[in-house]
Amino acid sequence: MEFRTQIIIFCVCVAVGSFLVIASSHVAAQSNTQGVGISITIEGTTPTPTPPPPSGGGGGGGGGSITPTPQPTYANLIIRGQAYPGAVVTISRAGAVAKTLIADGSGGFAAELSALPSGIQTFSLFAEDTNGRKSVTISLTLNLIANTTTTVEGLIIPLTIAISSSTVNQGQPLFIFGQSVPDSDVNLFIQSSEFVKRTAVAESGAWRYELDTTPLEISDHSVRAKAQTKTGEQSEFSETKFFRVVKPGAHAAPGTCLADLNDDNRADITDLSILLYNWGVPKNARADYNKDGRVDIIDFSILLYYWGTCV
């Protein structure tokens, strides 16, 4: 006998970036209308009941034992979600990789895991974008019911995030970038005194934001972000990136200056030659100062801005 129910999450406990989702057998047949983002569907076939023992009658066999038919205790799981175009999505269970797959051109993925043990199972997921940056790992705990297929839909893998420099002079731009769900938004949370900025994700999944550091204090700061789809669903937080704002003109450690491509703390003819060598589609991603995927006149103007002693 086929049965099919759909439930909404009744418990999403977010602790250190993890989901706890317990699918209860006490479910309500209702649709997900709360914009939670994740829905769970359980469907399957009820096991064939064990036939009752014959009641007397024949008498011939006389007390033969009946071996019960062992009931299979496996379950199937389908996870559908969104990462970034071409991202490698890795799903693990019990400390071992259970599935890796590549997200499609829209960032979507669908993973099928079969013959899983029933009961409470924890899965972890992360994505690696086309530039080798990894997302944080999120975990999903489900109560898998034997002889059913549980489908989790609407999972959003947190975006990848990077920054152009770990030290920036006050007033100079900090470029924050990564990959996320195409045609969504990125909400950036910048601290120490928290404020939020928003930027759009391109069709390719790439996103970037040019942060004006003028209003930031001379201090340590951090930035992390969430993906937000056009329909309002949000991912968990990304990794947190830390950066230091120093006084205008203050020297920083070698290798921290945005325009200094050979790490000698100067922006000069050597850096210009490296920039020109990478003109167009960069062979060295560092030459793409503003992280828009190309080395062009904008990057050249950034080099001129830093020209001389570069900090």
User: What does the block give as tokens for 176?
Assistant: 């924050």
Our finding on whether 177 is near Ca ion (CB under 5 A) is no
Q: Per CB under 5 A, does 260 bind Ca ion?
A: yes
| Residue closer to Ca ion (CB basis): 210 or 292 | 292
- Asked if residue 290 binds Ca ion (CB under 5 A), the reply is yes
CA dist 274 and 292 (Å) reads 18
Between 147 and 262, name the residue whose CB sits nearer to Ca ion. 262
Under rule CB under 5 A, residue 264 binds Ca ion: yes
Q: Which residue in 111, 136, 117 sits closest to 14, CA to CA? A: 136
Cβ at position 299, least distance to Ca ion in Å: 4
**Phi and psi for 16 in degrees, rounded to 5?**
50, 50
Number of helical (H) and strand (E) elements in the chain, helices listed first: 2, 19
Whether 199 and 238 have beta carbons less than 8 Å apart is answered as no
Phi (first) and psi of residue 100, to 5 degrees: -130, 140
Question: Closest Cα partner for 201 from 242, 238, 148, 246?
Answer: 238
Location of structure tokens 């990894």: 134
Minimum distance from residue 302 beta carbon to Ca ion (Å): 8
Our CB check for Ca ion shows the closer of 123 and 207 to be 207
Among 129, 236, 239, 288, contact with Ca ion (rule: CB under 5 A): 288
Q: For the CB of residue 265, give the shortest distance to Ca ion in the complex, in Å.
A: 7
When the beta carbons of 236 and 271 are compared against Ca ion, the nearer one is 271
Nearest to residue 218, comparing CAs of 191, 253, 245?
245
185 binds Ca ion (CB under 5 A): no
Interaction between residue 278 and Ca ion (CB under 5 A): no
262 sits near Ca ion (criterion: CB under 5 A): yes
Of the candidate spans 103-111, 113-121, 196-204, 296-304, the one that interacts with Ca ion by CB under 5 A turns out to be 296-304
Give the DSSP letter of residue 192: T
Choice between 117 and 255, CB closer to Ca ion: 255
143 binds Ca ion (CB under 5 A): no
Instruction: Write down the least CB distance from residue 206 to Ca ion, Å.
Output: 12
**CB 156 to Ca ion: min, Å:** 28
CA dihedral in degrees (204, 36, 92, 163; nearest 10)?
A: 40
- Residue ranges that bind Ca ion, judged by CB under 5 A: 260, 262, 264, 266, 271, 288, 290, 292, 299
